[in-house]
Amino acid sequence: MARRLAVPVPQAVADLSADWLTDALHQSGAVHSARVTSFTTGTPGSGRGFTGQTFRVALEWDRPEEGAPATVLLKVPSADPGNRGLVEKDGAYDRELDFYERFSADFPVRVPRLYHSLRDPGPGPAARLRTNRLIDRLPESALRFVGRHARRLVRPSGRRYLLLTEYIPGARTTTMEDYPPDGDLQEILSALARIHARWWRHPDLSDEEVVSWPTVTQTPRLMHGLYRARRSEVAERWPHLFTPELIGLTDWFGDHIEDLIDFINEPLALLRGDTRTDNMLFCDDGLVMVDFGNLGSGRPAFDVATLLSSTLVPGADAPSSLPGTTTRPWSTRGWSTIPWPSSATTSTSA
């Protein structure tokens, strides 16, 4: 398999040209004869983030043509090698490209239109599984070392990724610093329900050529090593948040992480994966979902829990405001052997 595509794959604004943009939009079918004569770039509000770089590209055309976009959105990987390596390890770039190439045209919720996508070939599901199994066989001391130095040890692959999508002007979003209105939460939950219903127990969920990723990547022992390596440092930095009760709950999660991840990853539906409110755009004609770097298969409750956890009022009292129960009716799956904490909540339907 070729290691790189034999075509240009811009990875920065400096790599763009009017001719490249013209060819990309012609290939998408959005434009047929008009050509881009010039363009200007700017950030759409997100700019250079942990996972990648997003740029708004305003286009000038040599002639008017129906369907020719005035502005497009360019997404490329992070320029920080440490960040990029960690993001690649979780498959975020491939997941988002998978979403746009395989699902976006027939998605039950509005998403930005895909104009162009490119990526160099990478390892398939079988190769990733072998790597993950190797990591999970490392001794505890090695896992803690890897966890502490993950950003330096997990190196980027050198693969190139690119997305060119529709730009949604005039959209409203709720940042992670603000509490979303009830109406926004209801609209997001309704959209999630349509997604989960559309792919509920769908046979495509078992086809790795269609859905290549579980919701949580299968390196649970490495995740636990990362947590153990950084726990004390983080707790000391934010003692008002990391109370003994919260640390006890997270320790319990770490001790049972392999079983919990297997449970979350049961392929019952296609999952959005990262349902934070700042990944949702609210327009006059409804909700638009963006950023699909956590796409995968799993239990729908994961999407709901991710949304609700991102809307908790910050502070030490936030975890205690959730209802708790000690009833765990999953004995047929072997879950009765796990000592569930009273502050963990579950659902038997998802």
Q: Please determine, for residue 44, whether its predicted confidence score (pLDDT) is greater than 70.
A: no
pLDDT tens-place string over residues 55-79: 999 999 999 999 999 999 999 999 8
Q: Please determine, for residue 121, whether its predicted confidence score (pLDDT) is greater than 60.
A: yes
pLDDT at 169: 92
Q: How many domains does the chain fold into?
A: 1
* 73, containing H or E segment: strand 71-77
pLDDT range class, residue 328, cuts 50, 70, 90: very low
Position 28 in a domain: yes
* 3-class state of residue 172 by DSSP: strand
Position 74 in a domain: yes
pLDDT at 263: 92
pLDDT at 177: 67
pLDDT at 210: 92
Distance CA 331, CA 333 (A): 5
Region for residue 291 given its phi and psi (left: phi exceeds 0; alpha: psi -120 to 50; beta: otherwise): left
pLDDT range class, residue 347, cuts 50, 70, 90: very low
pLDDT tens-place string over residues 83-101: 888 888 889 999 999 999 9
Averaged over 206-220, what is the pLDDT? 85
Which of 47-61, 144-158, 231-245, 292-306 is the least confident region? 144-158
Task: Report the amino acid identity of residue 109.
Answer: V
Position 212 in a domain: no
* 225, containing H or E segment: helix 220-237
DSSP letter for each residue of 103-148? TGGG-SS--PPEEEEEE-----HHHHHHHHHHHHTS-HHHHHHHHH
Residue 169 in tokens: 């002007």
Distance CA 55, CA 75 (A): 7
pLDDT tens-place string over residues 104-117: 999 999 999 999 99
Q: Please determine, for residue 25, whether its predicted confidence score (pLDDT) is greater than 90.
A: yes
Position 76 in a domain: yes
Position 318 in a domain: no
Position 339 in a domain: no
347 neighbors 301 (Cβ within 8 angstroms): yes
Which of 73-82, 153-162, 323-332 is the least confident region? 323-332
Q: Please determine, for residue 238, whether its predicted confidence score (pLDDT) is greater than 70.
A: yes
Of the candidates 293, 314, 69, 318, the residue with the CA atom closest to the CA atom of residue 179? 314
Of the candidates 133, 81, 111, the residue with the CA atom closest to the CA atom of residue 287? 111
Position 113 in a domain: yes
Position 69 in a domain: yes
| Domain harbouring 162, CATH code | 3.30.200.20
User: pTM score, two decimals?
Assistant: 0.81
Distance CA 91, CA 45 (A): 24
Of the candidates 54, 50, 59, 88, the residue with the CA atom closest to the CA atom of residue 73? 54
The gap between the terminal CA atoms of the chain, to the nearest Å, is 39
pLDDT at 155: 81
Of the candidates 13, 344, 276, the residue with the CA atom closest to the CA atom of residue 162? 13
Does 214 or 333 have the greater pLDDT score? 214
pLDDT at 325: 33
Give CA separation, 175 vs 46, 187, 280, 294, in Å.
Answer: 11, 16, 10, 18
Distance CA 316, CA 243 (A): 7
Does 107 or 45 have the greater pLDDT score? 107
pLDDT range class, residue 224, cuts 50, 70, 90: confident
The domain of 54 spans: 1-122+157-168
